[in-house]
């Protein structure tokens, strides 16, 4: 059996009882280590699980899945995923490959950012499409997120924006020369995300994510140092010191926001008077 085991959002104790039972009995345990991170390192997990763990980077998962699936017809293999196995990032390719080899697959779900973001005070059924924000470069500034946010805003729904993580990435030069030299890890911040959204807005000018659009920045959701800060996108551009270390994400409010949501979120506002004014002008109309 191949088991896809969700680890939750924060630390080693977030694994479910069912998931821990799978980890303890599996012949091999892999940790998917490129789409997200826990707030503790591998050694902490190994001590808590009382098992050695094999790090599975992007190359292994996407190009060498046969190694992960080796002998899984006859023994149990656990593939650990931060959050939920089919939450923000899906691993359908691995499941499809297992099916081709007639390997049974079972999923052990857990909390993900898709559900955990509810702690910011917005009601989950008022969210629309989730979008991703990647690091811009001088000559590459993808803006497809803008169109998805516009679709959400047209029907008044909130948008969860998942921000970029660069782990074990190669520079273009090293990639072209075939050198296995990797760049230091990079984690996008709320401020960087907000700034890029404003940058695209100033090019597109459709009023989707303006400097005065209300948003909530989130850091380390589900962890002991969880942090939420609410404000305009412009205000959030300068709050990174307050947010602290990764992982970050951002929510852009939709105009169907309920008064109860406002009452909850207002507590996190940088400038409560400014928040109240914009809320009444733009968001308080059903």
23 is in an annotated binding site: no
| 112 known ligand binder | yes
In the block, residue with structure tokens 């100033």? 202
117: nearest Cα among 6, 208, 251, 211: 251
Q: 167 among the known binding-site residues?
A: no
Q: Residue 253 corresponds to which tokens in the numbers above?
A: 């409010």
Q: Strands, DSSP E only, in the chain?
A: 2-6, 28-32, 54-56, 77-81, 105-108, 131-133, 159-163, 165-166, 186-187, 214-219, 227-232, 248-252
- 221 among the known binding-site residues? yes
Crossing angle for the helix pair 144-154 and 190-204, nearest 10 degrees? 80
Enter the DSSP assignment of 282: I
Q: How far apart are CA 192 and CA 263, in angstroms?
A: 27
163 labeled binding residue: yes
Locus of tokens 């702690």: 119
Q: Is 74 annotated as a binding residue?
A: no
What is the C-alpha to C-alpha distance for residues 112 and 218, in angstroms, rounded to an integer?
Answer: 14
Q: How many CB atoms lie within 10 A of CB 229?
A: 20
Strand partners, 5: 80, 108
Q: Would you say 113 is a known binding-site residue?
A: yes
What gap in Å lies between CA 243 and CA 165, rounded to an integer?
16
* Token code pair at residue 96: 């499809």
Burial of residue 221 (number of CB atoms within 10 Å: 0-12, 13-18, 19+): buried
Q: Give the position of tokens 């940058």.
A: 199
How far is 275 from 236, CA to CA, in rounded Å?
12
Binding residues for S-adenosyl-L-methionine are 9, 84, 87, 112-113, 163, 221, 248
- Specify binding-site residues: 9, 84, 87, 112-113, 163, 221, 248
């Amino acid at each position: 059996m191949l088991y896809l085991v969700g680890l939750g959002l924060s630390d080693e104790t977030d694994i479910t009882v069912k998931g821990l039972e799978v980890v303890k009995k599996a012949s091999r345990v892999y940790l998917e280590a490129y789409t997200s991170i826990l707030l503790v390192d591998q050694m902490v997990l190994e001590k808590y699980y009382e098992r050695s763990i094999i790090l599975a980077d992007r190359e292994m998962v996407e190009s060498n899945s046969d190694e992960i699936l080796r002998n899984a017809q006859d023994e149990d293999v656990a593939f650990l995923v931060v959050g939920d196995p089919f939450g923000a990032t899906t691993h359908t390719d691995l499941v499809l490959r297992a099916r081709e080899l007639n390997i049974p697959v079972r999923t052990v779900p857990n909390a993900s950012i898709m559900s955990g973001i509810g702690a910011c005070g917005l009601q989950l059924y008022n969210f629309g499409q989730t979008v991703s924000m990647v690091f811009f470069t001088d000559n590459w500034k993808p803006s497809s997120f803008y169109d998805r946010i516009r679709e959400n805003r047209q029907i008044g729904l909130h948008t969860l924006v998942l921000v970029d993580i660069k782990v074990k990435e190669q520079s273009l030069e090293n990639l072209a020369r075939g050198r296995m030299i990797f760049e230091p890890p990079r984690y996008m911040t709320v401020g960087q995300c907000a700034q890029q959204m404003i940058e695209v807005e100033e090019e597109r000018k459709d009023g989707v994510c303006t400097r005065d659009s209300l948003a909530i920045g989130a850091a380390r959701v589900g962890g002991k140092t969880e942090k939420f800060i609410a404000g305009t996108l412009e205000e959030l551009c300068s709050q990174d010191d307050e947010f602290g270390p990764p992982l970050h994400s951002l929510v852009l409010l939709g105009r169907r926001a309920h008064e109860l949501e406002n009452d909850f979120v207002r507590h996190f506002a940088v400038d409560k008077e400014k928040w109240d004014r914009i809320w009444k002008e733009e968001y308080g109309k059903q």
